[in-house]
Structure 1
Amino acid sequence: MARPANTVNDTVALYKMLKAEWDRPNHNLEKCETFLSKLKIYLTKLAFLPIQSPDESSKMELIVARDILEIGALHSIESKDNHAFERYLAQLKCYYFDYSSDLPESVYKYQLLGLNLLCLLSQNRVSEFHTELELLPMKEIQSNVYIRHPVSLEQYLMEGSYNKIFLSKENVPSKYYTYFIDLLLDTIRVDIGGCIEKAYDRISEVEAARLLFFEPGKPNLAEYAARRKWDLSAKHEYTFRKRTKEQLATSKMMPAQNIALQVLDYARELEMIV
């Protein structure tokens, strides 16, 4: 069904204002947000929902709607709004997959799909990461720089090669990846901090910085330790208030030597079977 011409024209005019502001090197996020809020209402009046065999005018509307949603997704990253980013990506998927044969491919398609993968990874939503990955062509998974980057990071996570993840921050395919990598690094540090609290009674400031991939002497480690309620002694050693007396008693009661011997016995038996 045809939309009123003035509705389409108003939407396109407002979209051009949004794009002009967004393309400025120092664009105003609040101004872009104002445009996006208005355009969300306009989009409900256009052919932005999946339709079969769109005609030329509908294709134009779909391209405009897709461009608006892409700017919205990137805007949400700059605004550090994960929920808004996920909402924009949920809407963009119909353009990227349902209309793949009807519309010219967007230059932002794989960048945003890669960012979506990285967003899931940063929240430790690994099963959803693999579900989204299965939607992509194998060729793009293997060769597209925007997809290969989060795939490599997921592999490093599975390997426990955290140092490679920290180094990857210096080699991102887009500036927008930095935000989600920082979130991923925070998630990794939470896991490492939990392991440190269980493995040590106390740990030196230098060793803690090394394990957490912080530069020694920088305020990042002190901020991290304060969040986890670690206490720094005069000897520059951290102790952990989270380690209760019950936890300490349990760790001392754990028969580590017996467990190690049992594991070695299992390994020998497996070797004999093989």
Structure 2
Amino acid sequence: MSTNPLVSLYQDLKQNFNAGPSGLKRTGEILAQLKLGLIQAGLLVPQGEHNLEDLSVARDILEIGAFWSIRSKDVPSFDRYFSQLQTFYKDYSQVLPPSPREYAIKGLNLIRLLTQNRIADFHTTLESLPAEALHDNPYLKHPVNLERWLMEGSYSKVWSARNEAPAEEYKYFVDSLMGTIRNEIASCEEAAYNTLPIKDACTLLFFTNRSDLLTFAQQRKWEVDLMNEQIQFARKGEETLEIPKQKVIVASLNYARELEQIV
């Protein structure tokens, strides 16, 4: 990692990452090059003794990669970066200074588990984290609160949590959670109502504007009556049960004959 090309790339990576959306594409390109460099230096998944500065830089590169993945809406990529970081967070925790990004990334992983409905994995991961951090660290408190509100059915609090996210990347997963919640609420509305005013549907589904609701309604195949400001829910046809009449008649006649023979 001490070679000039890698040092130059690392500086370029930080510059583009801090540039925000305008540097997103270039950040991904640089990450691909730096990961090759980490592999060649034995630092992607390090083992044994290494220069502490190299380990710190390698960890920083992977952490930037984790955040870049969320900004790029690439959850599988985030999973890979998170897995690679575990060696630094666990095996080298005694020799490396704490990373200011560590809890932010661990919090993102917790919300990812929630969005995938992996509740057992969520609680197992919580048990591996320091108890004081769960109460005091904002990056960990946020997913803990989300999980509690989901279990309570307090969906309005989940919606409000988007504005309270401790980092911009958290909003991506909160939006994903809200998509799941909206579909659950929509299924309940379809079962409970024939029609619903558009205004009420917006409120129930946590939409802030009509256009988003109308797009959602189209996806659910709802009929929208703009003249009367109503939504007509698609009704599923009642299932009909076919009765095998001929078989029933034959069976009844046979049963009657058997009764006559007994009498």
Confirm or deny a common fold (TM above 0.5). Answer: yes
1:72 to 43, 65, 73: 65
Cα distance in 1 for partners of 2:42, 2:121 equals 29
- The correspondence for 1:129, drawn from 115, 122, 126, is 122
SS at match of 1:203: strand
Confirm whether residue 174 of structure 1 aligns to residue 167 of structure 2.
Answer: yes
Establish whether residue 199 from structure 1 lines up as the match of residue 195 from structure 2.
no
Q: 1:34 to 1:25 in 2, by over 3 A?
A: closer
For residue 25 of structure 1, report the CA deviation from its aligned partner: 5.3
Which of residues 221, 226, 235 is equivalent to 2:213?
221
Aligned to 2:39: 44
The aligned counterpart of 1:159 is 152
Q: How far 1:239 moved relative to its partner? A: 2.5
1:230 aligns with 222
TM (norm. structure 1) is 0.80
Percent identity of equivalent pairs: 41
1:20: which partner in 2? 15
CA contact 1:123–1:187 (8 Å) conserved in 2: no
Change (3 A) 1:25 1:77: closer
Shift of 1:191: 1.3
Q: Deviations over 1:168-193 (max 9, x none)?
A: 11211112211111111111111111
Q: How far apart, in 2, do the equivalents of 1:9 and 1:47 lie? A: 17
**Shift of the alpha carbon at 1:138?**
0.9
Structure 2: distance between partners of 1:69 and 1:105: 15
Matched, 1:119 2:112: yes
Matches of 2:21 and 2:76, distance apart in 1: 24
CA offset at residue 50 of structure 1? 4.2
The separation in 1 between residues aligned to 2:63 and 2:199, in whole angstroms, is: 44
| C-alpha distance 107-232 of structure 1, shift in aligned 2 (>3 A) | same
Instruction: Read off the aligned partner of 1:224 and give its amino acid letter.
Output: F
Letter in 1 for 2:34: L
Report what 1:145 is aligned to: 138
The CA deviation at 1:212 is: 0.8
Q: Which has the larger radius of gyration?
A: 2
Computed over aligned residues only, the root mean square deviation of the Cα atoms, in angstroms, reads 2.1
The offset of 1:11, in angstroms, is 2.5
> Does structure 1 conserve the Cα–Cα contact (< 8 Å) formed by 2:46 and 2:87?
yes
Contact 2:16-2:24 within 8 A present in 1 as well: no
Question: Counterparts of 2:235 and 2:99 in 1: how far apart (Å)?
Answer: 50
Distance 1:139 1:30 in 2: 38
Shift in Å, 1:199? 2.3
Q: Does 1:93 align with 2:86?
A: yes
SS of the aligned residue for 2:14 comes to helix
Structure 2: runs of 5+ lacking an equivalent: 242-263
Gaps of 5+ in 1: 250-274
Task: Summarize the Cα distance change of 1:13–1:242 in structure 2 as closer, same or farther, 3 Å threshold.
Answer: farther
